[in-house]
Amino acid sequence: MSIKLDYKPVVVLTDYMYDSIQPFQDVYDRAGFEFRPYQCKTAEEIIQVAKDADAVQVHFAKITKEIIDALPKCRLIVRSAVGMDNIDVAAATAAGIPVANVPDYGIEDVSTHAILLMLAITKKFNILTRTVQEGMWDYAVTKPVHRIQNRVFGLMGCGAIARCAAKKAQAFGMRVIAYDPYLKQDQVNDLDIILKSAKEVAQESDVVSVHLPLTSETKEIIDREFFGWMKPGAFLINTARGGVIQERDLLQALQTGQIAGAGLDVLSQEYIEKDDPLLQMNNVIITPHAAWYSEEAEFTLLTSAAEEVVRGLNGEPLKHPFNKIPYAKQL
The residue from 241, 247, 298, 308 that is catalytic is 241
SS3 170: helix
Q: Are 37 and 24 in contact (CB under 8 A)?
A: yes
DSSP state of 186: G
Total count of residues recorded for the chain: 331
Task: Give yes or no: 320 in active site.
Answer: no
Task: Give yes or no: 151 in active site.
Answer: no
Q: Are 37 and 17 in contact (CB under 8 A)?
A: no
Question: Residue 39 is which amino acid?
Answer: Q
Question: Residue 175 is which amino acid?
Answer: R
User: Which run of H or E residues covers position 262?
Assistant: strand 261-264
SS3 222: strand
The residue from 217, 225, 270, 316 that is catalytic is 270
Interatomic CA distance for residues 219 and 194, integer angstroms: 24
Interatomic CA distance for residues 148 and 154, integer angstroms: 13
SS3 229: helix
Name the percent of the chain in helix, strand, coil, to the closest 5.
35, 15, 45
Secondary structure (DSSP) of 59-124: SSS-B-HHHHHT-TT--EEEESSS--TTB-HHHHHHTT--EE--TTTTHHHHHHHHHHHHHHHHTT
The residue from 36, 224, 289, 320 that is catalytic is 289
Range list of H helices, 172-319: 198-204, 224-229, 247-255, 295-313
Task: Give yes or no: 75 in active site.
Answer: no
SS3 207: strand
Query: Active-site residue numbers?
Result: 241, 270, 289
